[in-house]
């Protein structure tokens, strides 16, 4: 189990969201997202995080058992939205390229705002996935047209950090962001565009160290406007 997986488990058991944990330990929500998503392998705030989540710092940092000392309890989050049955998803200040690739300008990803669903509606859209595992990113480019058009918003399961099954993924290749359809073809991972004008390309064994999955797309929201 990785640091991010242990952190996610402890947050879930303690009832903390990324926002509530950030407030409790004095971190930006974007920094907590970076820890949960696996973009960072640890934090100087690990002792504070462990205290708030009611786990041993040694377990959180390195996985050394036990998870908790006897009688140790998390500091429960006071999350009004959660009590009222609101499922809140962060919209990230991040554009993924459905085209030749957009350059990654910063390692820090800020949260622009949140989209709220009722718990019942969210369950019909996202199943039993936790709200902190779903993030919204905006598409730029036409390589996935007509399935996804430039400006559309995609909802990604960011707990998916590697290729699992064929589908649409957000990923980093080298220093650029992409959103493409990935399909395993023999021993090579094919990168496909739904727009036939774009050629497919491959992630090979020699280039896989440049390939990093950010999440798998679940649904998309179109911003297309039609005149009546």
User: What are the residue ranges of CATH 1.10.260.40 in the chain?
Assistant: 3-62
Question: How confident is residue 80, by pLDDT bands cut at 50, 70 and 90?
Answer: very low
Is 205 exposed, middle or buried, given 0-12, 13-18 or 19+ CB atoms closer than 10 A?
A: exposed
Q: Determine the average pLDDT of the residues in 81-106.
A: 74
User: What are the residue ranges of CATH 2.10.109.10 in the chain?
Assistant: 83-221
Q: What is the pLDDT of residues 130-139, one digit of tens each?
A: 888 999 999 9
Domain 83-221 has CATH 2.10.109.10: yes
Question: How confident is residue 76, by pLDDT bands cut at 50, 70 and 90?
Answer: low
Q: What is the pLDDT of residues 167-193, one digit of tens each?
A: 999 999 988 889 999 999 988 999 999
Whole-number Å distance between alpha carbons of 159 and 217:
11
Whether 106 has a pLDDT exceeding 60, the answer reads no
Which residue did the predictor score with more confidence, 55 or 110? 55
- Rounded to two decimals, the pTM is 0.62
Domain 3-62: CATH superfamily, name plus number: lambda repressor-like DNA-binding domains (1.10.260.40)
Contact 144, 215 (CB under 8 A): no
Structure tokens at 103: 């350059």
Q: Determine the average pLDDT of the residues in 198-227.
A: 87
CA-wise closest residue to 37 among 139, 160, 128, 127:
160
Q: What angle do CA 178, 179, 185 make, to 5 degrees?
A: 100
């Amino acid at each position: 189990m990785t640091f991010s997986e242990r952190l996610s488990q402890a947050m879930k058991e303690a009832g903390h969201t990324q926002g509530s944990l950030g407030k409790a330990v004095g971190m930006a929500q974007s920094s907590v997202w970076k820890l949960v998503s696996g973009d960072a392998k640890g934090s100087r705030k690990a002792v504070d995080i462990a205290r708030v989540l009611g786990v041993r710092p040694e377990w959180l940092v390195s996985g050394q058992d036990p998870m908790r000392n006897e009688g140790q309890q998390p500091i429960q989050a006071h999350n009004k939205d959660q009590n009222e049955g609101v499922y809140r998803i962060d919209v990230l200040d991040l554009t993924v390229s459905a085209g030749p690739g957009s350059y990654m300008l910063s390692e820090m990803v800020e949260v622009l705002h949140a989209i709220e669903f009722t718990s019942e509606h969210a369950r019909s859209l996202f199943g039993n996935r936790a709200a902190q595992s779903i993030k919204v990113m905006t598409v730029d480019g036409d390589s996935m047209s007509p399935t996804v058009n430039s400006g559309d918003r995609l909802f990604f399961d960011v707990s998916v950090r590697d290729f699992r099954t064929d589908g649409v993924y957000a990923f980093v290749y080298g220093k650029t962001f992409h959103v493409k359809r990935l399909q395993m073809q023999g021993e090579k991972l094919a990168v496909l565009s739904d727009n036939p004008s774009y050629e497919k390309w491959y992630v090979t064994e020699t280039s896989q160290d440049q390939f990093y999955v950010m999440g798998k797309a679940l649904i998309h929201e179109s911003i297309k406007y039609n005149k009546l």
